[in-house]
Amino acid sequence: MKKYLIYLRGYALQSVLGPLFKLTEALFELFVPLVVAGMIDTGINGANQGYIVKMCLLLVGLGLAGLLCSVTAQYFAARAAVGFASGFRRALFGHIQSFDYTALDRLGVSTLITRMTSDLNQVQTGLNLALRLLLRSPFVVFGAMIMAFTIDTKAALWFALVIPALSVVVFGIMLLTMPMYRRVQEKLDGVLGASRENLIGVRVLRAFGREESEEQAFRQKNDELNRIQRLVGRVSALMNPITYVIINLAIVLLIRQGALRVQAGALTQGQVVALYNYMSQILVELVKLANLIITITRSVACLKRAQAVMDMPAGEEVLKDAPKGDSAYRVEFKNASLRYAEAGREALEDVSFQARPGEVIGIIGGTGSGKSTLINLIPRFYTATQGQVLINGTDVRCLEPQSLRGLIGIVPQKAVLFGGTLRDNLLWGNPDATDEELWEAARLAQASEVVSAKGGLDAQVEQAGRNFSGGQRQRLTIARALVRRPQILILDDSASALDFATDAALRKSLRELDYDPTVFIVSQRASTVRGADRILVLDDGRVCGQGTHEELLAGNAVYREIYNTQFRQEDAQP
């Protein structure tokens, strides 16, 4: 429990004052039946009008005091609950940021979104209700029973029988519904995942006419969620009628016994009404407690799902005992291999090569040959399962992720721009860059015309860069990487949307950089990598050849086949 209390740090006072004011309100409520009993016995039976007026004013005062305490309790409980959920969500998001790609692949994006939003909203609601009602309802139930014993011991024995019977019902239903609510959240993950996939891939779905099959698959997931929700709803719905039946039977027996004791002179009419009111208070509070327990049960299930993510190791632990030091090589792979989680074989196997400062390394191969997997090992998005990857002679596992990635500029396959301005996007590369540096990076990336045409660095960028074409987004993401002036520049098929002239101009400008970065160019175009100092040819996760364009064209069958499919046969001769 201590691991959760840290998220209430700064809200300790609110967490105490919320229940305290709610208990004060409950205390006022417990005095109401006694006031009504006195009004009946003394005021009505004694025809004392002045006493009746005094008691009415006292009831109004108790009501107003209770209302003030209730509103105050709600304010403090809401602040504590919102603060807890905000702190937990912030910590959860920060922890997810420390995951490597393996952990993200294993969990899935949709379930992480559900746990940060829907699950934590449920936790916030549950904590809010718990702070207000978790102590109040038992306090009223046992307080009403004690007050009943002060009125008449024999009549109050019904209270001692009813409360355990209701507790069995409440906690029995709670134990049944707790695993069901966990399954509801899991099914919700599936629905969210299907929705996300369909919205992201809507163009592909329409292009291949797969709308009906995807609708059927979504309907199946939605029906499964609907079925489990209805089942848990039916079980939860049993609570109110069962508790009402038990309480009302107890009230019938209480009134019958009270009537007999009034007739015998052992009780007054006002005392019987007070006992009835106390029994009604118990009914109301137990129904509240039952609903509260259902909500808390759901919240606990959601909290465990969120905590399961928090309990996962970060996946980017920094080793202390691996070799460190300087090297003539900027990047070095030593028999590096990678097997994805739950995969049957290595996606990348026994890769060894070196890259010096200022070198341009081309990486080419067919689809699924392991090109992106290879370059993802350099910034340690994935960690090699065997072998080593070294940066400046130091194993990447010995480097803090932030310092490691500070050396690297990455342009991923999918060009991503964020909502804001062009300046905001380019400053991701270096928050301290000047406008001159931003314009220079845009010029090198062949994006200066794009920036000028949009109205300058303050031009607005819509979410995901929807107001830019694919080629424009690629050039701007390359500019963002160049703003950093990285030691290692990785272009992962980031010029696929550029025409040949722009692609050639981009490669020429990269050669003119004044700080000698090591450049990795991943591409399926032979024309893009042919000017590289060295080309790595990947085939089925292995490096099947490396050398210059002329060397590979003469002696590597895989590279020659790729080249021949993109150029005329006579142009393929060395």
Count of CB atoms situated within 10 Å of the CB of 72? 17
Cα R_g (the chain), whole angstroms: 35
| pLDDT for residue 494 | 78
Query: Does residue 561 form part of some domain?
Result: no
Per-residue confidence band for 572, with pLDDT thresholds at 50, 70 and 90: very low
Query: Once rounded to an integer, what is the mean pLDDT over residues 283-305?
Result: 80
The upper half-sphere exposure of residue 572, i.e. CA atoms within 13 Å in the direction of its Cβ, equals 18
> Which tokens hold the place of 266?
């052992």
Query: Does residue 551 form part of some domain?
Result: no
Residue with tokens 């008691």: 55
Query: Once rounded to an integer, what is the mean pLDDT over residues 469-488?
Result: 90
In a shared domain, residues 428 and 300: no
Query: What confidence tens digit (pLDDT) does each residue in 179-238 have?
Result: 887 788 788 878 888 887 888 888 888 888 888 888 998 999 999 999 988 998 888 888
| pLDDT for residue 96 | 87
Query: Does residue 538 form part of some domain?
Result: no
Q: In whole angstroms, what is the distance from residue 177 CA to residue 234 CA?
A: 10
| pLDDT for residue 98 | 81
Query: What confidence tens digit (pLDDT) does each residue in 131-146 have?
Result: 888 888 888 888 888 8
Question: Of 279, 310, 341, which closes a domain?
Answer: 310
What's 480's domain CATH number? 3.40.50.300
Per-residue confidence band for 336, with pLDDT thresholds at 50, 70 and 90: very high
Per-residue confidence band for 20, with pLDDT thresholds at 50, 70 and 90: very high
In a shared domain, residues 420 and 292: no
| pLDDT for residue 574 | 44
Give 377 or 51, the one with higher predicted confidence: 377
In a shared domain, residues 33 and 181: yes
pLDDT of residue 466 exceeding 90:
no
What's 276's domain CATH number? 1.20.1560.10
Query: Does residue 513 form part of some domain?
Result: no
Per-residue confidence band for 573, with pLDDT thresholds at 50, 70 and 90: very low
Query: Does residue 383 form part of some domain?
Result: no
pLDDT of residue 549 exceeding 80:
yes
Query: What confidence tens digit (pLDDT) does each residue in 224-249 have?
Result: 999 988 998 888 888 778 877 887 88
Question: Of 450, 485, 520, which closes a domain?
Answer: 485
In a shared domain, residues 149 and 285: yes
In a shared domain, residues 271 and 145: yes
Q: In whole angstroms, what is the distance from residue 127 CA to residue 80 CA?
A: 8
Per-residue confidence band for 518, with pLDDT thresholds at 50, 70 and 90: very high
pLDDT of residue 116 exceeding 80:
yes
pLDDT of residue 25 exceeding 80:
yes
pLDDT of residue 324 exceeding 70:
no
In a shared domain, residues 305 and 452: no
Query: Once rounded to an integer, what is the mean pLDDT over residues 441-470?
Result: 89
Query: Does residue 352 form part of some domain?
Result: no
In a shared domain, residues 420 and 302: no
| pLDDT for residue 140 | 86
Per-residue confidence band for 79, with pLDDT thresholds at 50, 70 and 90: very high
**Cα angle 342-345-350, degrees, rounded to a multiple of 5:** 125
Q: Are 493 and 522 in contact (CB under 8 A)?
A: yes
State how many domains the chain has. Answer: 2
DSSP string, 321-374: SS-----S-SEEEEEEEE--TT-SS-SEEEEEEEE-TT-EEEEEESTTSSHHHH
Range name among 236-245, 312-321, 466-475 with the lowest pLDDT average: 312-321
Query: Does residue 474 form part of some domain?
Result: yes
Query: Does residue 445 form part of some domain?
Result: yes
DSSP string, 27-96: HHHHHHHHHHHHIIIIIITTT-HHHHHHHHHHHHHHHHHHHHHHHHHHHHHHHHHHHHHHHHHHHHHHHH
Q: In whole angstroms, what is the distance from residue 540 CA to residue 550 CA?
A: 23
In a shared domain, residues 301 and 168: yes
Domain that holds residue 146: 2-310
| pLDDT for residue 570 | 41
CA distances from 338 to 90, 397, 433 (A): 32, 14, 36
Question: Of 291, 310, 329, which closes a domain?
Answer: 310
